[in-house]
A and B are shown apart, each in its own frame.
Chain A
Amino acid sequence: MSFNRRSFLKFSGAGLAAAVAPQLAFAKAGKPHVVVVGAGYGGATCAKYLRMWDPNIQVTLIEPNAQFYSCPMSNWVIGGMRSMDDIIKSYANLPGYGIKMVQDTAVGVDANKRVVTTGKGKKISYDRLVLSPGVEFMTDQIEGFDEGEAAGKVLHAWKAGPQTLSLRKQLEAMPDGGVFVIGSPPPPGRCVSGPYERASLVAQYFKRNKPKSKIIMLDGHFDVVSKGPMFKAAWKKFYPGIIEHRPYNLVTKVDHNSMIVTSEFEDVKADVINIVPKQRAGAICAAAGVRTDSAGVWCPVNGVTYESPTVPFVHILGDSVASNMPKSAHVSNNQAKICAAALVEMFNGREPNPYPVIGSTSYSATSDETSGPIAVVMRYDPDKEAYIRQPGGGAADVSDELNFAYNLSWFENIWADTFG
C-alpha cells in the first residue's frame, strides 16, 4: 500500500477530482493564481514559499499597510528595551520573489465565482485563496471599551502599531506609585504567554524607574497558563511586590473617565489601562463564509491543505484557524509552509503529503537578559483529523541568559524567513 487513501479522501475538502482536475486543466492552460490576504507571519510566508517552491504559480498578496509591525518583540518596546523602529519590517524584498503586492484591504469574497473584492473596488480572481488576516477584537464584550479606546485611554496593543507606542508613552507619563492594569482574556487567543511577558517587562521598567508602582493583572485564565512556573519564579526573584496576578478575573467593563476597570469580581482603579479583548478570526474570514466553528469565531481547516471544509478553494492560516495549535507567529509561519507545499502538489496534479508536522517554539522574555522557551512537535493524524502533540514537549521552568540569546536569534531568523 503506497498511500493511506482512505484518509486522503477525508482530507480533500473539495474532493480530489474537484480539487485537482481544474488545476490540471489550468496548469496546462497557463499559470495558476493564488491570492493571499494579509502580509503577516502566515500570509507573507505562504506567498514567498509558493514562489520559491513552484515559480509557475502566480501570487498576489493583498495588504493595506506599507510596512509590517511585528507583535513579537512589541512587548520589548512597551517595556522600554527596544524602539518602534526595531519592530517595523519592510515588505521591500517580497516583490523580488515574483510576488505581486497590492496595497489594499480585501473586503469581500465571491466563493462561487472565485473573486476577491478590495476596499478600493478592485476585483481579483483566484484559483486558490489564502486568508491570513490575524485576529479581530470582540470589543462589544467589554462595556465601555470602544469609548475608552476612542478616547485613547483604553488600549489593547495586541496588534503592534500605534497602540504599542501609545502604551509605552502612557507608562512613561505615569507617576511613580501608579497602577498599571492588564486585562487578558481566556484562551484561545493570540499569544497566550504574551500578557505575562508584557507584565514582566513593564515590571522591570517600574523597578528601575518607578519603584512604588504596581501591576495588577486581571486574568480571564485560571492561572498563569503558559510558562507558569517560569514566570512566577521570575516575578518572585526579579520583581517582588510589583506584579499581582489575579486569576479567574475576566474584565467585563471599563470606564475611562473614572479609570475604573471592572471584572467579574472587583473594581480596580488604574492609572494606565491595557485590556486585551477576546478575539475571533479576521473579518474577511466572515465575508468568505469560513468562520464556521461552533461559536462562529474561528475557521476550521483541513489539516493537510488548510482548506476550509465548507468553502472550497479557500484556505486559512495563522491565528484565524480553529485548532489546538498555539496562535503564534512561529505556528503561522509553519502552517503557511504546509499549505504552500500542499498547493504546489495539487496544482501539479499530485496528492499532498498526508502527514504534515508542525513545530512550535515560543520564547518569552522575563527581563532584558533572561528568556525561556516552550516547545512542542505536533503531527497530523489523518484518521483522527487532528494534530497530535508528541510526548516530551513543554516549557522551561526557569528563564536564563542563554535563552535570551536564542530569543533574539529567533526574531532575526523568523523575520528573515518571512520577510527577507
Chain B
Amino acid sequence: MTTKYLFACAAGTALILSALPSLATDAPLVAAKSKPCLIAGWEQSAHTCVIHTKTIAATCFICHGPNGKSTGAVPSLAGQDKEYLAAAMRDFKSGKRDSTVMKKYALGYSDSEYDDLAAFFAAIK
C-alpha cells in the first residue's frame, strides 16, 4: 500500500512541481527499499525508513548544500558514488580518514543509515 501511494503521490508531485525547484521524490527510494529496516533497534516499514533517510539527508544539506549540492569549501554529496560515500562514513568513524566534524557525525549514525544516506545522495543527478 505504501509503495502504491507513493507512486501516485510522486506522479502528482511531478505534475504540480514541474515549474518549481524540487527535491528528489520518495518513490524511487521506496521502490529500491522494499524491505523494512531497523531504526534504533525497532523494525520500521519501508515507508518510515525512507522518510527517516530523507529527513537525515536534509540535515546534511545544511553544511553540504541543498540537495547535497554545495557552493562552498564543504564537498558536494549529490551524484557521488554510493560505495564511496558509505565507505567514507565508515572511515571517518574508525579514524582511518581524518576529519574536522565528520567523525562526530559518523559516531551518531548506524551502518545501515550510512548505506541509506549514500544511496540517497548517489541518486541525485
Contacts and interface: CB of A to CB of B under 8 A. Distances in A.
B42 A330 contact: no
A413 B70 contact: yes
B65 A377 contact: no
Interface residues of A, number: 60
A341 B56 CA distance: 11
Contacts of A97: 20-21
A1 B105 CA distance: 29
A96 B20 contact: yes
A53 B74 CA distance: 25
B40 A379 contact: yes
Contacts of A96: 20-21
Interface string B32-61: 000010011011110110011011101111
B80 to A, nearest CB: 16
Nearest to A333: B62
Interface in B57-75: 58-66, 70-74
Which secondary structure dominates where chain A touches chain B?
Answer: mixed
B36 A2 contact: yes
A2 B73 CA distance: 41
Given A55-B20, A98-B20, A341-B51, A414 B62 contact: yes
- A378, A394, A417 — most chain B CB neighbours (10 Å): A417
A287 interface: no
Contacts of B61: 413, 417
Interface in B85-125: 100-101, 103-105, 107-109
A337 B73 CA distance: 24
Interface in A367-420: 373, 375-379, 381, 390-394, 396, 402-403, 405-406, 408-414, 416-417, 420
A373 B108 contact: no
B108 A379 contact: yes
A96 B21 CA distance: 8
Contacts of A98: 20
A414 B67 CA distance: 12
Contacts of A377: 104-105, 107-109
A406 B100 contact: yes
A413 B100 contact: no
Contacts of B17: 52, 55
Contact of A409 (B54, B70, B103): B70
Contacts of B74: 406, 409-410, 413
Interface of B: 5, 9, 12-13, 16-17, 20-23, 36, 39-40, 42-45, 47-48, 51-52, 54-56, 58-66, 70-74, 100-101, 103-105, 107-109
